[in-house]
Copies of this chain bind each other. A is one copy, B any other.
Amino acid sequence: VAGIREVAARSGVSIATVSRVFNGSPRVSEATRQRVLAGARELDYVPSAAARTLVRRRSQLIGVVLDTGGHAELQHPFFQDVLVGVKAAVGGLGYDLLLFANERHTYLGRALQHRVDGLVMLSVDAHDPDVARIVEAELPAVAVDLKLAGAKAGWVSSDNAGGAHAAVRHLRERGHRRIATIAGPGTHLPGVERLEGFRAAVGRIRKSYVEHGDFYAESGYSAARRLLSLRDPPTAIFAASDLMAIGAVQAAREAGLRVPGDLAVVGFDDAAVAAAADPPLTTLRQDKAGLGRAAGAAVVRLVEEPGAAPPALRLPVQLVVRGST
Protein backbone atom coordinates (compact mmCIF):
# COMPACT_ATOMS: atom_id res chain seq x y z
CA VAL A 1 0.00 0.00 0.00
CA ALA A 2 2.99 2.20 -0.53
CA GLY A 3 2.54 5.05 -2.97
CA ILE A 4 4.92 6.91 -5.18
CA ARG A 5 5.49 9.57 -2.52
CA GLU A 6 6.69 7.06 0.03
CA VAL A 7 9.12 5.66 -2.47
CA ALA A 8 10.26 9.16 -3.33
CA ALA A 9 10.81 10.05 0.31
CA ARG A 10 12.64 6.84 1.06
CA SER A 11 15.03 7.27 -1.82
CA GLY A 12 15.43 11.00 -1.38
CA VAL A 13 14.09 12.10 -4.73
CA SER A 14 10.93 13.71 -6.03
CA ILE A 15 7.93 11.74 -7.13
CA ALA A 16 8.61 12.84 -10.68
CA THR A 17 11.88 10.96 -10.63
CA VAL A 18 10.28 7.85 -9.28
CA SER A 19 7.73 8.05 -12.02
CA ARG A 20 10.49 8.40 -14.60
CA VAL A 21 12.23 5.35 -13.29
CA PHE A 22 9.10 3.28 -13.53
CA ASN A 23 8.43 4.44 -17.02
CA GLY A 24 11.86 3.72 -18.31
CA SER A 25 12.72 7.32 -19.01
CA PRO A 26 16.35 7.77 -20.08
CA ARG A 27 16.53 11.09 -18.26
CA VAL A 28 17.58 9.53 -14.98
CA SER A 29 21.11 8.87 -13.79
CA GLU A 30 21.94 5.26 -13.28
CA ALA A 31 22.77 5.96 -9.64
CA THR A 32 19.39 7.39 -8.72
CA ARG A 33 17.62 4.77 -10.78
CA GLN A 34 19.17 2.06 -8.66
CA ARG A 35 18.41 3.93 -5.49
CA VAL A 36 14.79 4.33 -6.46
CA LEU A 37 14.43 0.75 -7.55
CA ALA A 38 15.86 -0.40 -4.23
CA GLY A 39 13.52 1.80 -2.26
CA ALA A 40 10.59 0.59 -4.27
CA ARG A 41 11.46 -3.02 -3.67
CA GLU A 42 11.77 -2.49 0.05
CA LEU A 43 8.32 -0.98 0.15
CA ASP A 44 6.78 -3.52 -2.24
CA TYR A 45 5.73 -0.63 -4.37
CA VAL A 46 3.63 -1.25 -7.45
CA PRO A 47 2.25 1.64 -9.51
CA SER A 48 -1.51 1.98 -9.18
CA ALA A 49 -3.23 0.86 -12.33
CA ALA A 50 -6.20 3.09 -11.61
CA ALA A 51 -4.14 6.25 -11.29
CA ARG A 52 -2.18 5.37 -14.37
CA THR A 53 -5.27 4.66 -16.37
CA LEU A 54 -6.71 7.98 -15.34
CA VAL A 55 -3.86 10.09 -16.57
CA ARG A 56 -2.57 7.98 -19.45
CA ARG A 57 -6.00 7.21 -20.73
CA ARG A 58 -4.97 3.63 -21.34
CA SER A 59 -5.60 0.72 -19.05
CA GLN A 60 -3.42 -2.06 -20.43
CA LEU A 61 -6.57 -4.12 -20.26
CA ILE A 62 -8.23 -6.08 -23.04
CA GLY A 63 -11.90 -6.70 -22.45
CA VAL A 64 -13.35 -10.10 -23.22
CA VAL A 65 -17.00 -10.49 -24.01
CA LEU A 66 -18.19 -13.98 -23.66
CA ASP A 67 -21.90 -14.43 -23.43
CA THR A 68 -24.67 -15.28 -25.77
CA GLY A 69 -27.63 -14.04 -23.88
CA GLY A 70 -29.44 -17.32 -24.38
CA HIS A 71 -27.79 -20.71 -24.41
CA ALA A 72 -25.18 -22.22 -22.21
CA GLU A 73 -22.92 -19.26 -22.92
CA LEU A 74 -19.30 -20.10 -22.46
CA GLN A 75 -20.18 -23.70 -21.79
CA HIS A 76 -18.92 -24.94 -25.11
CA PRO A 77 -15.40 -26.35 -24.83
CA PHE A 78 -14.37 -24.35 -27.86
CA PHE A 79 -14.28 -21.14 -25.86
CA GLN A 80 -11.92 -22.38 -23.24
CA ASP A 81 -9.25 -23.18 -25.76
CA VAL A 82 -9.69 -19.88 -27.52
CA LEU A 83 -9.47 -18.06 -24.23
CA VAL A 84 -6.22 -19.81 -23.44
CA GLY A 85 -4.84 -18.44 -26.68
CA VAL A 86 -6.03 -14.92 -26.03
CA LYS A 87 -4.56 -14.95 -22.58
CA ALA A 88 -1.20 -16.15 -23.79
CA ALA A 89 -1.01 -13.57 -26.54
CA VAL A 90 -2.06 -10.47 -24.62
CA GLY A 91 -0.21 -11.53 -21.50
CA GLY A 92 3.01 -11.69 -23.42
CA LEU A 93 2.40 -8.20 -24.71
CA GLY A 94 1.87 -6.71 -21.26
CA TYR A 95 -1.89 -6.69 -21.04
CA ASP A 96 -4.35 -8.32 -18.67
CA LEU A 97 -7.86 -9.50 -19.42
CA LEU A 98 -11.07 -8.04 -18.14
CA LEU A 99 -13.82 -10.61 -18.30
CA PHE A 100 -17.15 -8.84 -18.25
CA ALA A 101 -19.42 -10.52 -15.76
CA ASN A 102 -21.61 -7.72 -14.54
CA GLU A 103 -24.35 -7.26 -17.09
CA ARG A 104 -25.57 -3.83 -16.22
CA HIS A 105 -24.49 -2.00 -19.35
CA THR A 106 -24.06 -2.43 -23.05
CA TYR A 107 -20.76 -3.83 -24.27
CA LEU A 108 -19.62 -0.37 -25.25
CA GLY A 109 -20.69 1.02 -21.90
CA ARG A 110 -18.73 -1.54 -19.99
CA ALA A 111 -15.73 -1.07 -22.24
CA LEU A 112 -15.71 2.68 -21.73
CA GLN A 113 -16.34 2.38 -18.04
CA HIS A 114 -13.19 0.33 -17.57
CA ARG A 115 -11.41 2.14 -20.35
CA VAL A 116 -10.25 -1.14 -21.81
CA ASP A 117 -7.84 -0.54 -24.65
CA GLY A 118 -9.43 -3.15 -26.85
CA LEU A 119 -11.96 -5.91 -27.03
CA VAL A 120 -12.01 -9.56 -27.97
CA MET A 121 -15.47 -10.83 -28.71
CA LEU A 122 -15.93 -14.54 -28.41
CA SER A 123 -19.56 -15.35 -28.72
CA VAL A 124 -21.76 -12.57 -29.82
CA ASP A 125 -24.73 -12.33 -32.07
CA ALA A 126 -23.97 -10.76 -35.43
CA HIS A 127 -27.12 -8.69 -35.23
CA ASP A 128 -26.64 -7.39 -31.74
CA PRO A 129 -26.93 -3.60 -31.99
CA ASP A 130 -24.39 -3.38 -29.22
CA VAL A 131 -21.81 -4.82 -31.53
CA ALA A 132 -22.51 -2.16 -34.12
CA ARG A 133 -21.94 0.52 -31.49
CA ILE A 134 -18.51 -0.81 -30.78
CA VAL A 135 -17.56 -0.66 -34.40
CA GLU A 136 -18.85 2.89 -34.72
CA ALA A 137 -17.02 3.98 -31.61
CA GLU A 138 -13.85 2.73 -33.29
CA LEU A 139 -12.77 0.94 -30.19
CA PRO A 140 -10.17 -1.64 -31.24
CA ALA A 141 -12.00 -4.93 -31.41
CA VAL A 142 -11.45 -8.35 -32.86
CA ALA A 143 -14.17 -10.95 -33.01
CA VAL A 144 -13.80 -14.68 -33.33
CA ASP A 145 -16.20 -16.28 -35.80
CA LEU A 146 -18.00 -13.07 -36.61
CA LYS A 147 -17.08 -10.76 -39.45
CA LEU A 148 -16.60 -7.51 -37.61
CA ALA A 149 -15.54 -4.83 -40.02
CA GLY A 150 -14.61 -1.27 -39.27
CA ALA A 151 -11.74 1.14 -39.00
CA LYS A 152 -10.56 -0.60 -35.87
CA ALA A 153 -12.55 -3.79 -36.00
CA GLY A 154 -11.61 -7.08 -37.53
CA TRP A 155 -12.11 -10.80 -37.19
CA VAL A 156 -10.52 -14.20 -37.21
CA SER A 157 -12.15 -17.50 -38.02
CA SER A 158 -11.37 -20.97 -39.26
CA ASP A 159 -11.61 -22.05 -42.85
CA ASN A 160 -15.11 -23.33 -42.37
CA ALA A 161 -16.05 -23.79 -45.99
CA GLY A 162 -12.79 -25.51 -46.74
CA GLY A 163 -13.33 -27.84 -43.83
CA ALA A 164 -16.79 -28.76 -44.99
CA HIS A 165 -15.38 -29.38 -48.42
CA ALA A 166 -12.72 -31.69 -47.02
CA ALA A 167 -15.34 -33.59 -45.07
CA VAL A 168 -17.41 -34.22 -48.16
CA ARG A 169 -14.39 -35.19 -50.21
CA HIS A 170 -13.37 -37.65 -47.52
CA LEU A 171 -16.81 -39.21 -47.40
CA ARG A 172 -16.90 -39.47 -51.16
CA GLU A 173 -13.61 -41.28 -51.15
CA ARG A 174 -15.09 -43.68 -48.69
CA GLY A 175 -17.74 -44.40 -51.28
CA HIS A 176 -20.62 -42.42 -49.89
CA ARG A 177 -23.14 -40.82 -52.19
CA ARG A 178 -26.07 -40.06 -49.90
CA ILE A 179 -24.48 -37.45 -47.68
CA ALA A 180 -26.55 -35.31 -45.33
CA THR A 181 -25.54 -32.52 -42.98
CA ILE A 182 -26.50 -31.27 -39.60
CA ALA A 183 -25.75 -27.60 -39.91
CA GLY A 184 -25.21 -25.09 -37.15
CA PRO A 185 -27.48 -22.13 -36.47
CA GLY A 186 -27.85 -19.72 -39.35
CA THR A 187 -27.08 -16.86 -37.01
CA HIS A 188 -23.45 -17.81 -36.58
CA LEU A 189 -20.71 -17.55 -39.12
CA PRO A 190 -19.45 -21.11 -38.64
CA GLY A 191 -22.99 -22.37 -39.02
CA VAL A 192 -23.48 -20.52 -42.26
CA GLU A 193 -20.10 -21.17 -43.81
CA ARG A 194 -19.91 -24.85 -43.02
CA LEU A 195 -23.28 -25.27 -44.65
CA GLU A 196 -22.27 -23.24 -47.68
CA GLY A 197 -19.10 -25.25 -48.03
CA PHE A 198 -21.09 -28.43 -47.76
CA ARG A 199 -23.56 -27.33 -50.40
CA ALA A 200 -20.85 -26.28 -52.78
CA ALA A 201 -19.10 -29.59 -52.33
CA VAL A 202 -22.04 -31.91 -52.81
CA GLY A 203 -23.61 -30.03 -55.68
CA ARG A 204 -27.40 -30.37 -56.00
CA ILE A 205 -28.87 -31.79 -52.85
CA ARG A 206 -32.31 -32.76 -51.66
CA LYS A 207 -33.63 -30.35 -49.11
CA SER A 208 -34.41 -33.05 -46.60
CA TYR A 209 -30.71 -33.78 -46.27
CA VAL A 210 -30.11 -30.51 -44.49
CA GLU A 211 -31.04 -30.32 -40.84
CA HIS A 212 -30.16 -27.65 -38.31
CA GLY A 213 -28.87 -27.82 -34.76
CA ASP A 214 -27.34 -25.48 -32.21
CA PHE A 215 -23.87 -27.05 -31.95
CA TYR A 216 -24.76 -28.97 -28.80
CA ALA A 217 -25.24 -32.72 -28.60
CA GLU A 218 -28.95 -32.85 -27.96
CA SER A 219 -29.74 -31.00 -31.16
CA GLY A 220 -27.50 -33.33 -33.14
CA TYR A 221 -29.35 -36.27 -31.72
CA SER A 222 -32.79 -35.10 -32.79
CA ALA A 223 -31.58 -33.89 -36.17
CA ALA A 224 -30.06 -37.29 -36.86
CA ARG A 225 -33.28 -39.00 -35.90
CA ARG A 226 -35.11 -36.98 -38.49
CA LEU A 227 -32.52 -37.79 -41.14
CA LEU A 228 -32.53 -41.49 -40.36
CA SER A 229 -36.28 -41.73 -40.56
CA LEU A 230 -36.38 -40.50 -44.14
CA ARG A 231 -37.59 -42.99 -46.77
CA ASP A 232 -34.16 -42.72 -48.32
CA PRO A 233 -31.82 -42.10 -45.40
CA PRO A 234 -28.24 -40.88 -45.84
CA THR A 235 -25.29 -43.20 -45.41
CA ALA A 236 -23.11 -40.40 -44.14
CA ILE A 237 -23.60 -37.30 -42.07
CA PHE A 238 -21.42 -34.23 -41.81
CA ALA A 239 -22.17 -32.49 -38.52
CA ALA A 240 -21.03 -28.91 -38.02
CA SER A 241 -19.70 -29.67 -34.54
CA ASP A 242 -18.29 -32.62 -32.64
CA LEU A 243 -20.99 -32.47 -30.02
CA MET A 244 -23.71 -32.71 -32.64
CA ALA A 245 -21.79 -35.52 -34.30
CA ILE A 246 -21.78 -37.42 -31.04
CA GLY A 247 -25.49 -36.87 -30.69
CA ALA A 248 -25.90 -38.23 -34.21
CA VAL A 249 -23.87 -41.31 -33.40
CA GLN A 250 -26.09 -41.98 -30.46
CA ALA A 251 -29.22 -41.64 -32.58
CA ALA A 252 -27.77 -44.03 -35.13
CA ARG A 253 -27.06 -46.56 -32.47
CA GLU A 254 -30.52 -46.39 -31.06
CA ALA A 255 -31.83 -46.95 -34.57
CA GLY A 256 -29.82 -50.15 -34.68
CA LEU A 257 -27.20 -48.81 -37.05
CA ARG A 258 -23.50 -49.32 -36.65
CA VAL A 259 -21.02 -46.50 -37.03
CA PRO A 260 -19.22 -46.35 -39.35
CA GLY A 261 -20.59 -49.54 -40.90
CA ASP A 262 -24.10 -48.36 -41.62
CA LEU A 263 -23.59 -44.67 -41.12
CA ALA A 264 -20.44 -42.60 -41.33
CA VAL A 265 -20.18 -39.42 -39.28
CA VAL A 266 -17.81 -36.49 -39.50
CA GLY A 267 -17.68 -33.75 -36.88
CA PHE A 268 -16.03 -30.36 -36.63
CA ASP A 269 -13.74 -28.87 -33.96
CA ASP A 270 -11.70 -31.78 -32.71
CA ALA A 271 -12.84 -31.08 -29.19
CA ALA A 272 -11.46 -33.27 -26.42
CA VAL A 273 -14.52 -35.50 -26.67
CA ALA A 274 -13.83 -36.35 -30.29
CA ALA A 275 -10.89 -38.62 -29.60
CA ALA A 276 -12.51 -40.22 -26.59
CA ALA A 277 -15.85 -40.88 -28.23
CA ASP A 278 -17.05 -44.25 -29.35
CA PRO A 279 -16.04 -44.64 -32.05
CA PRO A 280 -13.33 -42.00 -32.09
CA LEU A 281 -14.67 -39.24 -34.25
CA THR A 282 -13.36 -38.27 -37.63
CA THR A 283 -13.41 -34.52 -37.52
CA LEU A 284 -11.99 -31.23 -38.74
CA ARG A 285 -9.51 -29.84 -36.30
CA GLN A 286 -9.66 -26.15 -35.63
CA ASP A 287 -6.65 -24.43 -34.17
CA LYS A 288 -8.61 -23.02 -31.28
CA ALA A 289 -5.73 -21.65 -29.29
CA GLY A 290 -4.38 -20.26 -32.54
CA LEU A 291 -7.61 -18.35 -33.10
CA GLY A 292 -7.28 -16.93 -29.63
CA ARG A 293 -3.67 -15.97 -30.07
CA ALA A 294 -4.40 -14.36 -33.40
CA ALA A 295 -7.28 -12.38 -31.97
CA GLY A 296 -5.28 -11.28 -28.96
CA ALA A 297 -2.24 -10.26 -30.95
CA ALA A 298 -4.42 -8.45 -33.44
CA VAL A 299 -6.26 -6.26 -30.92
CA VAL A 300 -3.03 -5.29 -29.33
CA ARG A 301 -1.64 -4.30 -32.71
CA LEU A 302 -4.76 -2.29 -33.38
CA VAL A 303 -4.25 -0.59 -30.04
CA GLU A 304 -0.58 0.14 -30.37
CA GLU A 305 -0.09 0.82 -34.05
CA PRO A 306 -2.08 3.80 -35.28
CA GLY A 307 -2.33 2.70 -38.88
CA ALA A 308 -2.66 -1.02 -38.34
CA ALA A 309 -5.07 -2.75 -40.69
CA PRO A 310 -7.88 -4.67 -38.97
CA PRO A 311 -7.40 -8.43 -39.29
CA ALA A 312 -9.54 -10.56 -41.57
CA LEU A 313 -7.92 -13.83 -40.87
CA ARG A 314 -8.73 -17.34 -41.90
CA LEU A 315 -6.96 -20.17 -40.09
CA PRO A 316 -6.58 -23.52 -41.82
CA VAL A 317 -8.46 -26.56 -40.65
CA GLN A 318 -7.21 -30.12 -40.72
CA LEU A 319 -9.04 -33.33 -41.41
CA VAL A 320 -8.38 -35.88 -38.68
CA VAL A 321 -9.51 -39.31 -39.75
CA ARG A 322 -10.57 -41.60 -36.95
CA GLY A 323 -13.01 -44.40 -36.44
CA SER A 324 -16.35 -42.87 -37.36
CA THR A 325 -15.85 -42.99 -41.12
Contact = CB atoms under 8 A, between A and B. Distances in A.
Interface of A: 1, 44, 46-51, 53-54, 59-61, 64, 73-75, 77, 79-81, 83-84, 87-88, 90-91, 94-105, 108-110, 112-115, 217, 246, 272-273, 276-279
Given A50-B50, A278-B278, 17 more contacts: A49-B115, A50-B51, A50-B59, A50-B115, A60-B102, A64-B99, A73-B84, A74-B83, A90-B101, A91-B101, A91-B102, A94-B104, A96-B102, A96-B110, A98-B99, A272-B272, A277-B277
A77 B90 CA distance: 22
A117 B149 CA distance: 36
A115 B52 CA distance: 12
Contacts of A59: 50
Ranked nearest first, the 4 interchain pairs of A and B with the lowest CB-CB distance are A278-B278, A91-B101, A50-B53, A97-B99
Which of A48, A103, A104 has most B Cβ within 10 Å?
Answer: A48
A112 B44 CA distance: 10
10 contacts: A44-B108, A44-B109, A46-B105, A49-B115, A51-B54, A87-B99, A94-B102, A96-B100, A96-B101, A98-B99
Contacts of A114: 49-50, 96
B96 A99 contact: yes
Contact of A277 (B102, B109, B276): B276
A165 to B, nearest CB: 26
A46 B217 CA distance: 40
Q: Within the oligomer, what is the number of copies of this chain?
A: 2
Contacts of A77: 77, 80, 272
A46 B101 contact: no
Nearest to A112: B46
Contacts of A87: 74, 99, 101
Contacts of A115: 48-50
A95 B113 CA distance: 13
A88 B100 CA distance: 10
Contacts of A108: 44
A110 B97 CA distance: 12
Contacts of A90: 101-102
Question: Which of A50, A100, A113 lies at the interface centre, i.e. has the most chain B CB atoms within 10 A of its CB?
Answer: A50
A64 to B, nearest CB: 7
Contacts of A277: 276-278
B75 A84 contact: yes
A112 B51 CA distance: 12
A88 B87 CA distance: 20
A112 B1 contact: yes
A48 to B, nearest CB: 7
Nearest to A74: B84
A12 to B, nearest CB: 24
A203 to B, nearest CB: 33
